[in-house]
Structure 1
Amino acid sequence: MKYVVLIGDGMADEPLEELGGMTVLQKANTSNMDYLATYGRAGLAQTVPEGMHPGSDVANMSIVGYDPKKYYTGRSPLEAASMGVELEKDDVAFRCNLITIKDDLIADYSSEHITNEEAKELIESIDAELGDEKVRFYPGISYRHLMVGKKGLGANTECVPPHDVIDENRYEHMPKGEDSELICELTEKSMDILKDHPVNLKRIEQGKNPGNSIWLWGQGYAPAFTPFGELYSLKGAIISAVDLVKGIGIYAGLDVIEVPGATGYLDTNYLGKAEYAIDALKDHDFVFVHVEAPDEAGHMGNMNAKIQAIEDFDDKVVGTVLKAAKEMDEDVTIMVLPDHPTPIALRTHTSNPIPVAIYCTSQKVSDDADAFNEEAVKKGTLGTVYAADLVRKLIDGEWAQ
C-alpha cells in the first residue's frame, strides 16, 4: 500500500453573503475532491489542539502525524531547519517578516509578496547593521526570514503574528514581556535602515509596497522529533514550498523533495508538485504534498483568488494524483484536507475542525458524504477525528472500518 496526503493550506472557510451563504470551498469546482469524498470516507479533523494557536505549524505537524501537545516548541525552529540554520542548544529562532507599515498601521504582512532577490538585499542590510553576538538575521523566501537569538534571548517574549493584526496600529501589538525592550528596539532600528534602502525606493517608484520594517514572532527552541520511520515503519517524503512545512519534514526524517517553480504563492507549480509526488511513490511509502496558495489568498481577503487557488489545487494536484493512483499496480490511499480554515472575512486562521476525505483505490467503501466541503463531510462516517491520529488510522486501515 502507498499513501498520499494532499494538503490545501487554509482551504476551509466560513459562509459569505456575496456567495449566497456558501463558503468558497462550496462555490469552487472541486470535482476531484468531491470524488474522494463520495467514493471514500469523509468527516472532520481537529488539527489544532485546544488552547494552541491555529498556526500552519501546529496544524501541519498534526497532519504529518506528530501531536503538537508533545512535539511543538515554536514555528521558527522548523523554518530554521529548512533554511539550513543549525540551532545550538540555547538558540531561539524567530520568524522575521518583512512587512509594510503605513502611518503606523500594519498595512501588509508580506510587503506585497516581495521577491526573494529584493528581500535578500534587505535582510542582509539588516544583519550588517543589527547582527551581533546576541542576534543574527538570515534571508529566506519572499517575506519569510529568520532571526536567531543567543542564550535564550526572546524565548518568553509575547509576540503577535502580523497577519493577525492587518490594518491595526503597530504600537498596540509590539512585543511584550521578557526581552521585549530589545525586540522592539530591533524593529524600530530596522525601520530606520529600510526606509531609504534602494530596494524600497525602487518598489515605491513602481507602485509596490516597500518592506520597510521587520516583524518578529513565532519563536522557539529546536524540537526533538521521533523519526517518522521509527514511529510508523514507513519511508516518507514531503513536498512544499514553505520553510516551516519542510522543517517539519526535516525534523521528522522525511525526504524533502524540491519542485522547480514551487513558490508558496498563487503562481506555484501545482502540476509539478503532483508529478513529483507520483514519482516519489516509486521509492517511498508515504508522501505529503502541501500547497500554500489558498491560505495566501485567505490572508489577502481575496475571495476570487481563493476560489481559483482551490480549483487549481483540485484540478492540477488532486486530479493528477488521483488519475495516476488508479493506474498504479499497487494500491494507493489518498487523503485530502486543509490544515486549518483561513476565512476570507477574517484574513487569519481559526481553529475550527476542517473537512477531510480518504479514498483507497482498492477499498469499496463510501458513506453519505457526496462533496468535499465544510457541510457535506458532516454526513460522513469519520465523525470528528484528532488529526495527529490520522496517519496511524490510514496505515491501520481504521478509517475504512
Structure 2
Amino acid sequence: MDISSLIQKNNTKIIFVILDGIGGLPVNGKTELEAAIKPNLDALARDSACGLHIPVALGITPGSGPGHFGVFGYDPLKYEIGRGVLEALGVGIELEKTDVALRCNYATLKNGIITDRRAGRIPTEKNIELTGKLSEEIKEIDGVKIILKPGKEHRFCLVMRFPKKISEKEAMVTDTDPQKEGKEPSEPLPLTEEADEVAKISKKFIERAQEVLKNEEKANYILLRGFSAMPDIPSFEQKYGLKACSIAVYPMYRGITKLLGMEAVPVEGDIKEEIEILKKIYIDYDFIFLHVKKTDSFGEDGNFEGKVKKIEEFDMYLPEILSLKHDVLVITGDHSTPCVLKAHSWHPVPLLINSPYVLGRTVNAFTERECLKGELGIIPATSIMSLVLANSLRLRKFGA
C-alpha cells in the first residue's frame, strides 16, 4: 500500500537501530541472543511490540543491501541496488551516470586457489597503503578512468569511469568472489551482451592489480563484487516526510543511506563512539539510523562467543540511547547471520518497536523464540516503516 497520502508531520523523534545479522540458531541449545546476558534489552522487549520480520521472502537469504532496503520500506525485489554503488557512496565517491562501481576484497591466492577471501582481515592501515599503491600504478585502462578508495579492513572500492553513460544492463557482470575458500577465483563474465566491455576492463584490472600485489604475503590478490551502475530511487524524505541521518562506521551502510538521501554522519570506532554521535545530533533530525556491524562479522566468522559479547556490549550502552527520550525506538537486524552457518541466512529476524502506543507484556526477552510470541507476529520487513510512522503519530486515518 502507498501510504504517502496519509503522511503528516510532527515533532516526534525516531531512533532505528540495526544490529547487523542479529538473528541466530542454537548452539548447545541456545542462540546467540539467548546466550547473551542483556538485562536492558530484555526489559525493553517486555515493554515493546515484538515480532519477527522476513527481509525479502520466505526461504530467501538476503544480502546486506536488500536487507536494509527492506527494513527501510523499499521493496528489495523492486529496488535491486548493487553493493558497489553503496560502497562507493559510503566512502565518499560522488558517482556519475558514466560510472560502474564495485565492492572489492583483498584476498590471499596460493597456487591459483583462494585460501583467504578476506586476506586475514588486514588492518585498515595496510589497506590504505595497498590501495594507494594500486591507485598510483593503475590510473586508466583503455580510456576508462580508474578510481580507488580504501574501506575498512580488507575492503576497498573501485569505480570505473567510462567516457559515456552506463546503463544498468552494461554493469551486469558476475562477481569474481568464489564465496568459499579452497576454490579458484571466478572470472568477471558479462550477464548481458551490453556488459561485454565492462567485463573486459575488469579482467584487465585484476591482471594489473595482481602484478602490483604479487610480493604481498596476505593481500596478493583482489576479488570483485557487486558490479553496479547508479539507479533511480525516491529519497527517504520524499517517501516518509522525515529529515533523516545515519550513523554507521562501515562505508556500505553509509552508502545505503546516502542513496536514500539521508545525511551520513562521519564516525570512527564502534558502539560507544556511535552513541556519542547520536547524543550530539539527536535534536537535529526526525529519524536517526544507527548501525552496529560486528554482530554480523562475528556471525560470518562462526565466532559464537564474540557475537554474544557484542550483543552484551550493546546492551551495556542501551541506557544511553533510552536517556534521549525517544518517541519510537526500533531494534532489529537486516538479516540473520547464525554462527553455525557462518553466513547470512533466510531465517526471520527479531524485531522490537518501543513507543507509548504498543500493547507490550507479550514477551519476556529479546530473543528469536520470545519474539515469535510477540504482538507483531511474523511480518514482511517492508511493513516496519508503516508501523514506525503509525507509532510516531505521523499517519492520518485512511478513509472516512
2:381 to 377, 384, 387: 387
More helix by share: 1
**Residues 13 and 52 (structure 1 numbering): CA distance in 2 closer, same or farther, change over 3 Å?**
closer
Equivalence for 1:134: 144
Alpha-carbon contact 2:245-2:288 (below 8 Å) kept: yes
| Match status 1:237 vs 2:253 | no
Equivalence for 1:265: none
Equivalence for 1:14: 25
Equivalence for 2:157: 146
Q: Deviation at 1:30?
A: 2.1
What residue identity is the alignment partner of 1:170?
E
Alpha-carbon contact 1:135-1:147 (below 8 Å) kept: no
Q: Deviation at 1:160?
A: 5.5
| Match status 1:170 vs 2:189 | no
User: Which contiguous aligned blocks of 4+ residues in structure 1 show a shift greater than 6 angstroms?
Assistant: none
The CA distance in 1 between the partners of 2:111 and 2:382, in whole Å, is: 43
What residue identity is the alignment partner of 2:135?
D
Equivalence for 1:83: 91
TM alignment of 1:1-400, pairs within 5 A: 1-16=12-27, 20-49=28-57, 54-132=62-140, 133-134=143-144, 136-141=146-151, 142-149=153-160, 150=162, 152=166, 155-159=171-175, 161=177, 164-165=179-180, 167-171=181-185, 173-178=186-191, 179=196, 180=199, 182-196=201-215, 200=216, 204=217, 210-259=218-267, 261-262=268-269, 268=270, 270-316=271-317, 318-322=318-322, 324-325=323-324, 328=325, 332-360=327-355, 362-363=356-357, 365-397=359-391
Q: Deviation at 1:190?
A: 2.4
Q: Is the partner of 1:43 in helix, strand or coil?
A: strand
Q: Deviation at 1:58?
A: 1.2
The CA distance in 2 between the partners of 1:230 and 1:137, in whole Å, is: 31
Q: Deviation at 1:289?
A: 0.3
**Alignment RMSD, CA only?**
2.4
**Residues 303 and 287 (structure 1 numbering): CA distance in 2 closer, same or farther, change over 3 Å?**
same
Gaps of 5+ in 1: 205-209, 263-267
Alpha-carbon contact 1:367-1:381 (below 8 Å) kept: no
Alpha-carbon contact 1:154-1:219 (below 8 Å) kept: no
What residue identity is the alignment partner of 1:377?
C
Query: C-alpha deviations, 1:360-399, integer Å up to 9, x for none?
Result: 2x34621422111111100011011221221221111299
The CA distance in 1 between the partners of 2:101 and 2:93, in whole Å, is: 9
**Residues 232 and 68 (structure 1 numbering): CA distance in 2 closer, same or farther, change over 3 Å?**
same
Alpha-carbon contact 2:66-2:81 (below 8 Å) kept: no
Q: Deviation at 1:13?
A: 1.4
Q: Deviation at 1:239?
A: 0.4
Q: Deviation at 1:77?
A: 0.7
The CA distance in 1 between the partners of 2:108 and 2:319, in whole Å, is: 37
The CA distance in 1 between the partners of 2:337 and 2:72, in whole Å, is: 20
The CA distance in 1 between the partners of 2:42 and 2:88, in whole Å, is: 37
Aligned length: 368
The CA distance in 2 between the partners of 1:224 and 1:343, in whole Å, is: 33
Q: Is the partner of 1:311 in helix, strand or coil?
A: helix
The CA distance in 1 between the partners of 2:203 and 2:346, in whole Å, is: 29
What residue identity is the alignment partner of 1:191?
Q
Q: Is the partner of 1:71 in helix, strand or coil?
A: coil
Q: Which has the larger displacement, 136-145 or 212-221?
A: 136-145
Gaps of 5+ in 2: 1-11, 394-400
The CA distance in 2 between the partners of 1:15 and 1:104, in whole Å, is: 36
Alpha-carbon contact 1:275-1:321 (below 8 Å) kept: no
Q: Is the partner of 1:170 in helix, strand or coil?
A: coil
Q: Deviation at 1:86?
A: 2.4
